[in-house]
C-alpha cells in the first residue's frame, strides 16, 4: 500500500489513525538507549538490529540498561544462525558444519561469513559479524554462557533438519515433528531469554522450574507465524504445516492453495489455529512471573500481536493466496495496551478470544474444540482477575443485609397497619348498617334515656302478658 493508499485507508478508518497518533505522541519508553555512550562496534550492532527486525529492535532498545546489551546480542547471534539456516542457496554440506560450529565462531576474533546468496535479506549481518563478536566478549560471563549454550542447542537442531532430506523434500510430517521444529527455532529462544531475565533478577526464579511455560511462549509465536506465512512458504517451496494435519483435508499439499478446495483449506487452518491456541493461557501465566516493566513490555508485545494475528488468520481464506498482517493502527493499539500491566494484557487476550469464538463457524469440524479453547482462555483469565471482587461482593452483601433487615421491619409495620385499617372499615360498615336499621347508639351514653327505655320495655312486656291471659280465659 503506497502513501496515497495509506492516507485514504486512514481517512476512512479514524480509529486506526488515532491509535497511531496515540502511540507516537503519548508512548513514553521506560528506558532510553543512549548511543553517545556506546562504542562504534556497539552502535554497529544496533544498526544491524534495526535492519533485521524493526519491531523487535524497538522493544529491545527500551529495555532496562542491564538487559539491553545481552538481549540485543542474543538476538543478533540467533538471527545470524537463522540467516544461514534459511538460505536455500547454501548446500546442506556447507550449512551443516556452520550451524553446528557457530558457537565456536562466536569466540573467533574477526570471523565473518560472506557466502549467503545475494538476495538473502540479512546477509549484511554476517558480513559484519566481527562487530558482534567484539561486543560478545565484553559481556558478563553468566550472560555469555547462556547465549553460547542456546546457540549450541539451536545450531545442532537446525543442522539435523538441514540434513533431513525427507524434511527438505516433503516438509514436516507429524505434529510431534512440527512442535520439535518450533522448539528449536523459538522454544530455545524463550529458554535463553528466561535464563537471562532470572540471572538479572528481573523474573521470578520459579520460571526455571516451569520450563513448559517458557516453551509455550516460543511455540505460540512460532506457530502463529507459520500459519500466517503459509502462502509465502509455499512460494519458497517450504512446508511447515504437518502432513498429518493437511492430509485430512486434501490429497496434495498444493491443493490447499487451489480455490476449488478453499473450504477444505480453511478447515485445515482452523485445526492449525486450534493447535496454537492451546498455549495461550500458559503465556499469560509466564508473564505473571516478570518483575520489571521494560522486561514485561518486551515479552508482552509479541504475545498480544500473536493472539491478534491468530484472530486475523482464523476463518480467513486470504492466507492461501496472499500475505496478510495486522494493520499498523491495530499494532499501535496493542503496543499501548501491552506496555501497561498484566491485567490489561489479559483483557487483550480475552477480547481476541471472544472475536475468534464469534468468527467460529458451526459447519467447521473444529467448531466445538475451538469454542472450548476460547472458553479455557477466558476461564484462566477469570482465575487471575475475577470479574467480581470477593471483598466487594461481601461488602455489598452486608449493606444489602442491613437494608433487608430494615425492609422487614417496615413491611411488618405496613402489614399491621393495613390489617387495622381493614378491621376499622369493616367495623364502620357494620355499625353504619345497624344504625340504618334503627339501632339507638345514643342511649349507650344517656343513663336517663336508657332507664326510660328499660321501663317502657317492661311495661310492654306486662301488657303483652295480660292480653295473652285474657284471650286464654275467653277460649
By annotation, the residues acting in catalysis are: 181, 228, 238, 298
Q: Please list, in sequence order, all residues whose beta carbon lies within 8 angstroms of the beta carbon of residue 357, skipping any fewer than 6 positions away.
A: 370, 371, 374, 375
Beta pairing partners, 290 = 203
Nearest residue to 370 via CA among 280, 438, 292, 259: 280
Gyration radius of the chain over CA positions:
42
For residue 209, what is its C-alpha cell? 522450574
Look-up: residue for cell 529495555? 63
What is the C-alpha to C-alpha distance for residues 239 and 221, in angstroms, rounded to an integer? 17
Look-up: residue for cell 393495613? 418
What is the C-alpha to C-alpha distance for residues 143 and 200, in angstroms, rounded to an integer? 9
Task: Establish how many alpha carbons lie within 13 A of residue 123's alpha carbon, considering only the half-sphere containing its beta carbon.
Answer: 12
What is the C-alpha to C-alpha distance for residues 263 and 256, in angstroms, rounded to an integer? 9
Look-up: residue for cell 526455571? 208
Look-up: residue for cell 529492535? 57
CA torsion sign, 283 to 212 to 364 to 331? Answer: positive
CA 447 to chain centre: 94
Look-up: residue for cell 542474543? 74
In which region does residue 118 sit, left (phi positive, over 0), alpha (psi from -120 to 50) or beta (all else)?
alpha
What is the C-alpha to C-alpha distance for residues 253 and 457, in angstroms, rounded to an integer? 122
Amino acid at each position: 500500500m503506497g502513501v496515497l493508499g495509506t492516507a485514504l485507508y486512514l481517512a476512512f478508518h479514524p480509529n486506526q489513525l488515532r491509535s497511531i497518533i496515540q502511540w507516537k505522541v503519548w508512548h513514553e519508553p521506560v528506558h532510553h538507549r543512549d548511543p553517545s555512550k556506546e562504542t562504534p562496534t556497539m552502535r554497529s550492532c544496533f544498526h544491524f538490529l534495526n535492519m533485521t527486525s524493526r519491531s523487535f529492535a524497538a522493544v529491545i532498545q527500551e529495555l532496562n540498561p542491564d538487559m539491553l546489551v545481552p538481549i540485543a546480542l542474543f538476538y543478533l547471534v540467533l538471527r545470524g544462525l537463522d540467516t544461514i539456516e534459511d538460505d536455500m542457496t547454501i548446500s546442506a554440506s556447507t550449512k551443516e558444519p556452520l550451524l553446528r560450529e557457530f558457537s565456536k565462531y562466536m569466540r573467533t576474533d574477526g570471523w565473518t561469513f560472506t557466502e549467503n546468496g545475494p538476495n538473502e535479506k540479512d546477509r549484511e549481518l554476517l558480513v559484519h559479524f566481527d562487530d558482534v563478536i567484539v561486543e560478545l566478549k565484553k559481556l558478563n560471563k553468566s550472560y555469555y554462557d547462556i547465549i553460547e549454550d542456546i546457540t549450541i542447542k539451536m545450531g545442532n537442531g537446525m543442522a539435523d533438519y538441514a540434513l533431513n532430506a525427507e524434511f527438505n523434500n516433503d516438509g514436516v510430517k507429524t505434529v510431534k515433528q512440527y512442535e520439535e521444529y518450533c522448539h528449536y527455532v523459538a522454544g530455545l529462544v524463550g529458554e535463553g531469554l528466561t535464563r537471562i531475565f532470572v540471572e538479572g533478577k528481573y523474573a521470578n526464579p520459579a520460571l526455571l522450574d516451569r520450563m513448559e511455560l517458557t516453551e509455550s511462549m516460543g511455540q505460540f509465536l512460532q506457530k502463529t507465524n507459520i500459519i500466517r506465512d503459509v502462502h509465502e512458504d509455499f512460494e519458497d517451496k517450504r512446508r511447515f504445516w504437518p502432513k498429518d494435519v493437511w492430509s485430512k483435508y486434501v490429497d496434495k499439499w498444493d491443493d490447499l492453495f487451489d480455490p476449488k478446495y478453499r473450504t477444505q483449506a480453511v478447515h485445515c487452518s482452523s485445526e492449525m489455529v486450534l493447535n496454537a491456541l492451546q498455549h495461550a493461557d500458559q503465556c499469560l501465566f509466564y508473564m505473571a512471573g516478570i518483575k520489571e516493566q521494560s522486561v514485561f513490555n518486551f515479552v508482552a508485545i509479541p504475545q498480544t500481536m500473536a493472539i491478534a494475528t491468530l484472530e486475523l488468520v482464523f476463518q480467513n481464506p486470504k492466507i492461501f493466496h496472499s500475505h496478510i498482517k495486522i494493520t499498523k493502527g491495530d499494532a499501535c493499539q496493542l503496543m499501548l495496551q501491552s506496555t501497561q500491566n498484566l491485567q490489561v494484557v489479559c483483557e487483550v487476550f480475552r477480547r481476541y478470544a471472544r472475536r475468534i469464538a464469534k468468527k467460529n463457524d458451526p459447519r467447521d469440524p473444529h467448531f466445538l474444540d475451538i469454542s472450548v479453547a476460547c472458553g479455557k482462555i477466558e476461564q484462566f483469565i477469570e482465575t487471575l482477575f475475577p470479574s467480581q471482587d470477593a471483598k466487594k461482593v461481601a461488602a455489598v452483601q452486608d449493606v444489602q443485609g442491613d437494608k433487608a433487615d430494615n425492609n422487614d421491619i417496615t413491611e411488618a409495620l405496613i402489614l399491621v397497619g393495613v390489617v387495622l385499617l381493614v378491621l376499622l372499615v369493616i367495623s364502620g360498615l357494620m355499625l353504619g348498617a345497624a344504625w340504618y336499621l334503627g339501632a339507638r347508639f345514643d342511649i349507650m351514653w344517656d343513663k336517663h334515656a336508657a332507664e326510660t327505655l328499660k321501663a317502657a320495655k317492661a311495661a310492654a312486656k306486662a301488657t303483652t302478658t295480660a292480653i295473652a291471659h285474657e284471650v286464654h280465659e275467653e277460649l
